[in-house]
Amino acid sequence: MSDGITDSYKYGWRQETILKKPESCPTNCPTVNVRPSWDYIWSNFAKSISQRSCDTKYKVGAVIVTLDNTQVLAIGYNGDEKGGPNRRFSQEKDCSGFIHAEVNALLKCDFNFPKDKKMYITLSPCIMCAKAIINSDIKHIIYINKYDDEGIALLRNYGIKVTQYNKDS
């Protein structure tokens, strides 16, 4: 039975094939297998996680994965402490009173895990989150939207690779 995406089951696991013709291709051009990049997958996962935030101004999500993209190690979103009121203190920048998504993800991550890690974030980190990331030994930060140049600069000064995700690249 086909669900429209699954072509077959092979060797006991689900085999998916997504077929698409390149736009510039003539009608007799063969279809090609198109798969989303890991950056696309994890960036969209961070966006989905951000929807858990009760912040009315910034909904931020973070996902920590292994550098080889084989495991999700932790997730986080900006919000209050457990059982907190989930209300923003102020509408001013840097005054939400919420624990930032990056810190929430870092608090949940097992740093005894031997593989190198990277973090996907919906907003570039503030200076305080950048300091926490530096202390956590994460190797690569991928953010979707720019929020703070200071945090990016500090991370780069410590040799951490920082990339703005571009869905078109």
The active-site residue out of 16, 23, 92, 102 is 102
Q: Could you tell me if residue 107 is left (phi over 0), alpha (psi between -120 and 50 degrees) or otherwise beta? A: alpha
| Placement of tokens 């699954």 in the chain | 6
The distance from CA 119 to its chain's CA centroid, rounded to whole angstroms, is: 6
Does 16 qualify as catalytic in the annotation?
A: no
Judged by DSSP in three states, 3 sits in coil
Give me the DSSP letters along 98-114.
Answer: SBPHHHHHHHH--TT--
Q: How far apart are CA 76 and CA 133, in angstroms?
A: 13
Catalytic amino acids?
102
